[in-house]
Chains A and B, each alone.
Chain A
């Protein structure tokens, strides 16, 4: 293992300088060392297993760490592991990681940009904190493909980008393809912005904001191929406040992977619970629901307007069980929804006829306005 001192600048010839790992806890390790630069080097992990919570490049506590234009191949653990670090990880290719390509704990001002992450067994990028708080990492313009949930679980693995307990993180402009679980999974991540990402062929919820978050913007993404396009959930844990706007979501799968909670259905375009607006989205080919608002009593102050839903079993489902809060459903276009354009739900089960039809039953807390419906 090589120990990096503060100020170390390692520079190679891109594509030609290769460091081959011969064993140890990490290949390059830094503790409390700042201003480290690694550039234009191939770091070949030789598929030698690393201890848990180690990266082939391992940096603990350093300001302005810069890892740029390197290739990290065949790490037997994580590719890059950062704790309490500021700086940037940019322009790298990270291929075939035995666990996760890039892990950051308790970042102090970090940018993860323009990396190609190809093939991992756990997750692509993890932005984590030990306790809930401001993080502010920028995750932008990365290409992330072929992410497996090797250890199984119910969502801890198989995600391109995981944000856990880290607030004010920006996930923008990433291209994400072929993941066992999510493209972006914000868990207890307040004020997360998930914008302008291109997602295809993921097998669980494509874009997630779950557990105890306050504030999520999920906008201007394309999702083609997922079990559920967008989920903003866990009002039961305090999860609330979201804008879901301007997304294209289509070709949804009827089932989530084995291991998720049995209540968690697939085939849904957008699912929301509390203090949320859903507007200007286009959803096509949803085997169960175009949009769902609420789970039992966990529904409050949701506006669903200006969306286009085509070919969904139910267009828009709204919880009408006792205790459920208010929802507005107005100015949407709903085409080819055989079970009904707008339907009241008891959890996942439709229990009313089409609420958008003439003479339909009324619920005080659900305002169904003018929607254009084509059968």
Chain B
């Protein structure tokens, strides 16, 4: 069971890293690794920002759906 879980985690990290290379550099933060999937802040989504987040969220949805990764939306508006 442990072996399987580690194996699956490894897959998801590798997949996420390749899909996220560019936004991660743009955001300039460490890459989160989470069983929930990719953190939306990695795509420039800013919780609590007064600005319209539609463009960033759309990009995040497109990228994560393509990579078959869940998109995690952190607390905030």
Contacts and interface: CB of A to CB of B under 8 A. Distances in A.
B68 A17 contact: no
Contacts of A9: 37, 64, 69-71
A5 B62 contact: yes
A18 B61 contact: no
A5 B68 contact: no
B77 A10 contact: no
Report which residue of B57, B65, B75 has the largest number of chain A beta carbons within 10 angstroms of its beta carbon. B65
Contacts of A13: 73-75
Interface of A: 1-13, 16-20, 22, 37, 41
Contacts of B62: 5
B58 A10 contact: no
A2 B76 contact: no
A13 B76 CA distance: 9
B73 A5 contact: no
A93 B69 CA distance: 26
**Residue from A3, A9, A12 with most neighbouring chain B CB atoms (10 Å):** A9
A18 B65 CA distance: 20
B52 A41 contact: no
Contact of A19 (B37, B64, B65, B73): B73
Instruction: Sort chain B's interface into a size bin.
Output: 20 to 34
Interface string B34-67: 0011000000000100001010011001101110
13 contacts: A2-B57, A6-B65, A9-B70, A9-B71, A10-B70, A11-B36, A11-B72, A12-B72, A12-B74, A13-B74, A18-B76, A19-B77, A22-B54
Contacts, number: 59
B61 A3 contact: yes
A17 B73 contact: yes
B71 to A, nearest CB: 5
Given A1-B54, A2-B58, A11-B72, 14 more contacts: A3-B61, A5-B62, A5-B66, A8-B61, A8-B64, A8-B71, A11-B37, A11-B73, A12-B72, A12-B73, A19-B73, A20-B77, A37-B70, A41-B73
Nearest to B58: A2
A366 B70 CA distance: 66
Nearest to B69: A9
B61 A11 contact: no
Given A12-B73, A16-B76, A18-B76, A5 B52 contact: no
A8 B65 contact: yes
Nearest to A24: B54
